[in-house]
Structure 1
């Protein structure tokens, strides 16, 4: 029988559920960001506008991913923000290269074409970010997983400890 402790983190959702949440949270922030970049770029250079919006949207998206997408069970830590920022820098580079390449190929691109290129590059970078965030930034560490296992499978004092080669499932059955 498993014990649920009040301080225990929420369970991490499966890959499909996490990806759906990632698309809703990150995609929603990304879509709003694309309009923000377009509006801000009418006042300042596009690369600077993209950088400012990328910083703000990364902070917001990281919080949403920590709370909802990956089941981290609360606010994102400074470490998670820093690691997420690293993946956002790569995504920023992808969107910059895509739009700047478009501007090299088309002298005065239509704003709609620019949005399509920007959103396509963002989607490609987003899939890569999902993998990085799920597998690295918000992944449970071995020590956290071991702590969860110990909390769920505590052995009574009268039961002899199984051999060092026992699997986690066997430890739970021994309790």
Structure 2
């Protein structure tokens, strides 16, 4: 579990840092909530593939996995956007460093929650039903 968490942090952290830089670039071009939504969608697709293949070494894939992972991101999106809007409520013109510290801190907390859900639900190993295991064994023996 610790190795999976380290891989999750490296993959998610890399995508998160790249996302943070993109958010800075988009912030002046569009409303913050729209920029964060765009960054979140694209980074989620990339991170879900990385987490499935690298973090959890799972063979599960497809749109169902992306949908389940996307639901965890909706919570993360609300959390990061809420943190940034909270910052702007307290400080009308925070520095980029302060803004990024809040964004990355909120992203890290949301990431811990995502790790738990992805590991325990989305990429969890599914037990093989007894009948299916016997059928597979019969096919192997027959071959």
- Give the TM-score taking structure 1 as reference length: 0.73
Structure 2 counterpart SS, 1:142: coil
* C-alpha separation in 2, matches of 1:43 and 1:117: 20
* C-alpha separation in 2, matches of 1:115 and 1:53: 14
What is the CA-CA distance between 1:150 and the residue it aligns to? 7.6
Specify the alignment match of 2:18 in structure 1. Answer: 32
**Structure 1, residues 97-149: CA drift from partner, whole Å, max 9, x if none?**
00000000001101100000000000000000000000000001223798569
Structure 2 counterpart SS, 1:141: coil
Q: How many residues are treated as equivalent by the alignment?
A: 140
* C-alpha separation in 2, matches of 1:138 and 1:16: 16
More helix by share: 2
Specify the alignment match of 2:67 in structure 1. Answer: 82
After superposing on structure 2, the runs of 4+ consecutive aligned residues of structure 1 that deviate more than 6 Å are none
Equivalent residue runs for 1:11-160 within 5 Å: 15-73=1-59, 76-143=61-128
- Give the TM-score taking structure 2 as reference length: 0.89
Specify the alignment match of 1:12 in structure 2. Answer: none
Q: 1:42 to 1:17 in 2, by over 3 A?
A: same
Q: 1:45 to 1:133 in 2, by over 3 A?
A: same
Q: 1:67 to 1:106 in 2, by over 3 A?
A: same
Q: Which runs of 5+ in 2 are unaligned?
A: none
Q: 1:149 to 1:60 in 2, by over 3 A?
A: farther
Q: 1:147 to 1:25 in 2, by over 3 A?
A: farther
Larger of the two Rg values belongs to structure: 1
